[in-house]
Amino acid sequence: MRILVVEDEAKVGSFIRRALEEESYAVDLCADGPGGLELARGSSYDLIILDVMLPGMSGLQILETLRKEKLNTPVLIVTARAQLDQRVKGLDAGADDYLTKPFAIEELLARVRALLRRGTGEGMGLLQIEDLILNPATREVTRGGQRIELTSKEYALLEYFMRNAGRVLTRPVIAEHVWNLDFDTFTNVIDVYVNYLRNKIDRGRERKLIHTIRGSGYVLKGDSQG
Ligand code: CA
């Protein structure tokens, strides 16, 4: 899950970035309005967190522009301005949620989780592919009722696979969404981690869920994903 944070207060920005990265999200941080808009347009994010008061262009202007351009990435507005009219303006401009500074980081993380679930249309529910079940709320993974222990990167990779079940994911796409790193330097690491995951999810099982698509990438699928 890849998140863009547009926040000009360096302290707040790096605090948010650190908290999100600890939860295994890939994070880009930008400190000005025009730069934020450019990033939001040019890359595919799963969520955008926008401060309102920004140099060059306000968070609300960024949001309005994105919505006009039919970019429907979930947006969480974060602002010091607690007034009702700001909140209404934000929601009118197409924000999905709104958070007033100062906020507890747990509150931000809870909103982020909720928006990411909504963004993928999964609701509050479990992700399930055949007998493989992932609970985003508790981060618990089981297959055939057996608990599977994953490292935080393995978990992030599996969650991304499961939210995109049936879709072939290329290595650059996986690199971008799960690692937030440049693909060129990274191809081998993805294969290594997919192998770690396979060992935990598929090894010794009759039905394999993670498949290699030669020349393309990987896909996680069961019977219902065709
Ligand atoms: Ca600001």
Write out pLDDT tens, residues 16-53. 999 999 998 999 999 999 999 999 998 789 899 999 99
221 alpha carbon to ligand 1 midpoint, in Å? Answer: 43
Query: What is the set of domains in the chain, with CATH numbers?
Result: 2-120 (3.40.50.2300), 127-225 (1.10.10.10)
Distance 58 CA to ligand 1 centre (A): 9
Express each pLDDT in 83-122 by its tens digit: 667 667 777 778 888 888 888 898 999 999 888 877 654 4
Instruction: Verify cis geometry, omega within 30 degrees of 0, for the bond prior to 102.
Output: yes
User: What's the CA gap between 190 and 194, in Å, rounded?
Assistant: 6
Q: How far is the CA of 102 from the centre of ligand 1 (A)?
A: 12
Rounded to the nearest angstrom, the distance between the alpha carbon of 217 and the centre of ligand 1 is 40
- State the Cα–Cα distance between residues 226 and 165, nearest whole angstrom: 10
Residue 49: partners with Cβ closer than 8 Å, 6 or more residues away: 3, 4, 5, 6, 7, 16, 75, 76, 78, 112
State the distance from the centre of ligand 1 to the C-alpha of 156, rounded, in angstroms: 30
